[in-house]
Amino acid sequence: MKNSYLDIKDEVAKALKDGQPVIALESTIISHGMPYPENVETALKVEQIARDAGVIPATIAIIGGRLKAGLSAEEIEYFGKKGTAIHKASRRDLPYLVSGGLDGATTVASTMIIAGMAGIPIFATGGIGGVHRGAENSFDISADLQELAQTNVAVVCAGAKSILDLGLTLEYLETHGIPVLGYKTEELPAFYTQKSGFKVDFAMESPGQIASLLKAKWDMNLKGGAVIANPIPDEYSMDPDEINTVIEQALNDMDKEGIKGKESTPYLLARIAELSGGNSLHSNVELVFNNVRLASRISREYCS
What mean pLDDT do residues 249-273 have? 82
List, for residues 179-238, the tens digit of each pLDDT value.
999 999 999 999 889 999 999 999 999 999 999 999 999 999 999 999 999 999 999 998
Domain membership flag for residue 26: yes
Indicate the length of the chain as a whole number: 304
Question: Domain residues for 127?
Answer: 6-303
Query: In the prediction, which pLDDT does 45 show?
Result: 98
Domain membership flag for residue 181: yes
Domain membership flag for residue 1: no
Q: How many CB atoms lie within 10 A of CB 83?
A: 16
Q: Residues 6 or more apart from 173 whose CB is under 8 A from it?
A: 145, 148, 180, 227
From the list 134, 156, 178, the residue with the least C-alpha distance to 268 is 134
Domain membership flag for residue 183: yes
Could you tell me the CATH number of the domain that includes residue 122?
3.40.1790.10
Domain membership flag for residue 270: yes
Q: Residues 6 or more apart from 299 whose CB is under 8 A from it?
A: 21, 22, 23, 55, 121, 122
Domain membership flag for residue 164: yes
From the list 170, 168, 190, the residue with the least C-alpha distance to 179 is 170
Domain count, the chain: 1
Domain membership flag for residue 20: yes
Residues carrying an active site annotation = 26, 161
Residue 33 reports pLDDT greater than 60? yes
List, for residues 86-108, the tens digit of each pLDDT value.
999 999 999 999 999 999 999 99
Least confident stretch, 15-19, 74-78, 226-230, 239-243: 239-243
Domain membership flag for residue 159: yes
Q: Is 45 helix (H, G, I), strand (E, B) or coil?
A: helix
Query: In the prediction, which pLDDT does 2 show?
Result: 60
E strands present in the chain: 6-8, 22-25, 56-63, 66-69, 87-89, 104-106, 122-124, 154-157, 180-183, 202-204, 226-229
Question: With a threshold of 0.75, does the pTM exceed it?
Answer: yes
